[in-house]
Structure 1
Amino acid sequence: MRIDFKWLALACRNAMRNRRRSLVTLAIAATGTAAALLGGGFALHTYESLAQASARDTGHLVLAAPGQFDGIDNMPLEHGLSGRAALTRELLAQPQVTRVLPRLQFSGLVSNGDKSEIFLGTGVDARQEFLVKGPFMKVEEGALLDDGGSTGTAPAHGPGIVLGKGLARILNARPGSSLTLMSTTTAGSLNAIDVTVTGIVSSGIADIDKRLAMVDLATAQELLVTDKVSYLSVYLDELEHSDAVGEAWRRQYAGRLEIRSWLEQAVFYQSVKGLYNRIFGFLGVIVLVIVLFAITNTQSMAVLERTREIGTLRAMGTTPGEVTRLFTLEGMVLGSGGAVLGMALAAGVALALVRLGIQMPPPPGRTGGYPLVVTVSPAMYAAAALAVTALAALASLLVSRKAANQPVVEALAHV
């Protein structure tokens, strides 16, 4: 349908004939659009935050020896990765790679002399590990492994260890406390090592904090009597490069390494995204249906009131298509106007939330809240405006077709 400016100007004037009804319709369309955009923006911010948390935790890409991801080990590090140093140098030579962090996962018992508790430990590169964690790991007390000397809490007895605050509470441990780690070596024998708590951290998830223990990689390898690691976590310059780089490496290292992206490892992220997509998608459909009914009602009343006018236009030579075009343009004016107002309202609320710094309560299973932030996505705003305008045009088209095609005499005789 070609839009002539004179028809558009006429549609704008007709749309505001009954100002009260048109303003109510605009308010409904604006409120519905803003609600859909705010809900979608909240979901997008949640996705972005969870994606960053997952990628920082596992790395954008995870490289391991064949069989490591199956989780079936008869002995510790049965499918461990050897030759770490050479592989790290090879990976760091690629331009998109910013960091390559080794990680050694192990488990066992940690004791304070009076009480023992199961722990899930990770041997890490202390100089880089906590840099990539960023805001997703909070230091509650003491210092991290790489800065203990500068804070005056350097280990006094044995290498350092960082505990989750839940595990520290169970063991009544504080920075400076001496503990003993016990685990099974790669040969199947029991080994123990004394460590000193340097810091207590929180991951934000209570169940993880009850078992979390982190030591330097050399300490973990000494405990397990090995030079292997569980896997290498590779961090790229951009999260979006993960799929392309991962696919290239799968071809390059086929048979030598297994490679998984952060998304394949992020079970929680995928579950939350699937749930939110269904919830906010359903709410979005409801909002669009409400907007559709509001514009349909407004245009139905306008067509009913102007039936004799339609008959007059037809008698003067106006075609049914031109009458339908006029009402369709009126609906588009109302729909696009409501969409623009809704976008402005949603953007204003998003900005206000950033300024106010409102905190959401902790989600189930987590120990800390998070800021209420709504993402302003140009693509989502454009899609919402297009959807509302298209629905308004469709509703007006369907409502006006019958009146535009009725006989001229019947239209002129309408009361």
Structure 2
Amino acid sequence: MILFILAFRNLFRHFRRTLTLLLTVAMGSGALFLFKGFNTGIMNQYKENTIHAKTGHGQLNTKGYMDEVYERPWQHWIKDADKIKTDLKTIPGVTHVFPRIDFYAVVTNGLLNVAAKGTGVDGTEEADFFWTINIVQGETLRAQKDGIILGVGMARALKVKPGDSLVLVSQTTAGRANAADVTVVGVYHTGNKDIDDSTFRIQRTLAADLLDTDKVEAIAIGLHDDDMWPNFAKAVKDKYPELDATPFAVIDKVYYQNAVDWLGQQFFVIQLIIIFIVTLGITNSFAFSVVERTAEIGNLRANGESAWDITALLMWEGLLIGLIGSIAGVFISYLFNVIVIPHGILMPPAPGLTRQFYVKIELLWSSALASGALGLGATLLATFIASYKRVRLPVGDALRHRS
């Protein structure tokens, strides 16, 4: 306890030096905290975009369907989708069930034909769950029986807007040509050029009529929380062994999982750089501080204090500086985020995308604790490095030292 009291008093003996050390620690801890929040914000936005614009929390297919390429894939689609949909809603945690049909068709305005990939969906049910679809013209697909929403690139190529008519031409599962008249109700912009130029969505009933099938390719799932997926997958395996349950991170590995892995590794590297800079700065500051106090250290040694006692005193000082500085850094970073950038940071288009997006910095308690602990650890390490040799100088040399 006496060492703690002495260390606390020493902080006020050289206030400017203490303030410099506190600012160094605060800036390092705050930088780690903000960057972790930025990283978390990007990863959560990727996750939300994947879940609420594309795949849901995951989807069901027939056994092995995702791993194979079939000449006639519709022969391996899911039967009795509506019955399965009703059963799946009884599984704990399931909030939404979306049978879907993916198919290819030619979209024509009478003058220009565009080959595209379509998805047949239950518009009314999907509209509320898939809320991150970026509709730039018109509205999303809901109950419009013959409605179609399409990517902004395709709409531009076909020169259509909401209210215009198009014709879809496709093949039935029996190989016969079939066509359907549709009306544009909305245009979406994902930012991914491939998707915006060649995809559209229509009602599942219309897609089933167009392909002349009563099956669905996949059943997308919406859960209360993505952490509930393992329990859901186990329930599906027990109840429907002929189906595979695939989570969204596997379905959209290129967009989501690879991005998460890359960002995680990037954060680790930048975290090491920040810790190194903080440790170096604190070591330098503490080294000057200890050199200035060499005569004081000599007096303590002459009075019978051991090198370890003096090291412990300096470590207590480092602990207090690290603790106060880390807390201050985390708190200042939080205020900066709330006051200066409450709506996030506008980012340029990511690779493969064509539109800007906002990233909101998401600060978590776990990140605050981790950033504070790293700042404190770096301070203690720097204190030990700076003081280890100086406190072991011969007493005579230490007493003769002049700052």
**What's the TM-score bracket when you normalise by the shorter of the two chains?**
over 0.9
Picking from 90, 100, 103, the partner of 1:103 is 100
Picking from 398, 401, 408, the partner of 2:395 is 408
Where do 4+ consecutive residues of structure 1 move more than 4 Å? Answer: none
* Superposition deviation, residue 125 in structure 1: 0.5
The normalised TM-score by structure 1 is: 0.90
Please tell me whether the aligned partners of residues 76 and 106 of structure 1 are also in contact (alpha carbons under 8 angstroms): no
Partner of 1:266: 252
1:14 aligns with 2:10: yes
CA deviation vs aligned residue, 1:269-294 (integer Å, no higher than 9, x gap): 12222222232322221111111112
Change (3 A) 1:408 1:183: same
1:78 aligns with 2:75: yes
Partner of 2:60: 63
Show the 5 A alignment for 1:200-211: 200-211=187-198
Partner of 2:110: 113
Show the 5 A alignment for 1:7-46: 7-46=3-42
Answer with 302-311 or 47-56: which moved more. Answer: 302-311
Q: 2: CA distance between counterparts of 1:201 and 1:120?
A: 15
Answer with 348-357 or 258-267: which moved more. Answer: 348-357
Q: 1: CA distance between counterparts of 2:67 and 2:25?
A: 52
* Superposition deviation, residue 342 in structure 1: 1.4
Partner of 1:331: 318
* Overall identity of the aligned pairs, in %: 32
Q: 2: CA distance between counterparts of 1:261 and 1:115?
A: 38
CA deviation vs aligned residue, 1:42-100 (integer Å, no higher than 9, x gap): 11011111111112221213111123212512124132111112211111112211111
Letter in 1 for 2:154: L
* Superposition deviation, residue 345 in structure 1: 2.0
Unmatched 5+ residue regions in structure 1?
Answer: 149-154
Show the 5 A alignment for 1:208-223: 208-223=195-210
Partner of 1:285: 272
* Superposition deviation, residue 192 in structure 1: 1.9
Letter in 2 for 1:257: L
* Superposition deviation, residue 36 in structure 1: 1.9
Please tell me whether the aligned partners of residues 76 and 185 of structure 1 are also in contact (alpha carbons under 8 angstroms): no
Picking from 249, 257, 282, the partner of 2:243 is 257
1:169 aligns with 2:156: yes
Letter in 2 for 1:103: R
CA RMSD in angstroms, aligned pairs only: 2.1
Q: 2: CA distance between counterparts of 1:407 and 1:248?
A: 72
Picking from 290, 293, 300, the partner of 1:313 is 300
Please tell me whether the aligned partners of residues 22 and 298 of structure 1 are also in contact (alpha carbons under 8 angstroms): no
Please tell me whether the aligned partners of residues 295 and 331 of structure 1 are also in contact (alpha carbons under 8 angstroms): no
Partner of 1:395: 382
Please tell me whether the aligned partners of residues 170 and 178 of structure 2 are also in contact (alpha carbons under 8 angstroms): yes
The normalised TM-score by structure 2 is: 0.92
CA deviation vs aligned residue, 1:280-323 (integer Å, no higher than 9, x gap): 32222111111111211122222222222222222323232211
Letter in 1 for 2:125: Q
Unmatched 5+ residue regions in structure 2?
Answer: none
Q: 1: CA distance between counterparts of 2:243 and 2:80?
A: 12
Partner of 1:144: 140
Partner of 1:151: none
Partner of 2:373: 386
Letter in 2 for 1:18: H
1:370 aligns with 2:366: no
Q: 2: CA distance between counterparts of 1:252 and 1:147?
A: 32
Partner of 2:126: 129
Letter in 1 for 2:280: F
* Superposition deviation, residue 190 in structure 1: 2.5
CA deviation vs aligned residue, 1:154-176 (integer Å, no higher than 9, x gap): x7xxx222222211111112223
Q: Give the total of aligned pairs.
A: 400
Partner of 2:213: 226
Letter in 2 for 1:262: F
Please tell me whether the aligned partners of residues 353 and 372 of structure 1 are also in contact (alpha carbons under 8 angstroms): no
Please tell me whether the aligned partners of residues 65 and 79 of structure 1 are also in contact (alpha carbons under 8 angstroms): yes
Q: 1: CA distance between counterparts of 2:112 and 2:297?
A: 89
Letter in 1 for 2:30: A
Please tell me whether the aligned partners of residues 61 and 246 of structure 1 are also in contact (alpha carbons under 8 angstroms): no
Partner of 2:89: 92
Partner of 1:235: 222
Letter in 2 for 1:86: K
Q: Helix, strand or coil for the counterpart of 1:186? A: coil
Letter in 2 for 1:380: S
Q: 2: CA distance between counterparts of 1:188 and 1:104?
A: 17
Please tell me whether the aligned partners of residues 343 and 360 of structure 2 are also in contact (alpha carbons under 8 angstroms): no
Q: 2: CA distance between counterparts of 1:238 and 1:308?
A: 62
Q: 1: CA distance between counterparts of 2:234 and 2:177?
A: 40
Please tell me whether the aligned partners of residues 180 and 210 of structure 2 are also in contact (alpha carbons under 8 angstroms): yes
Answer with 213-222 or 201-210: which moved more. Answer: 201-210
CA deviation vs aligned residue, 1:93-121 (integer Å, no higher than 9, x gap): 12211111011000121111111001110
Change (3 A) 1:346 1:165: same
Please tell me whether the aligned partners of residues 100 and 218 of structure 2 are also in contact (alpha carbons under 8 angstroms): yes
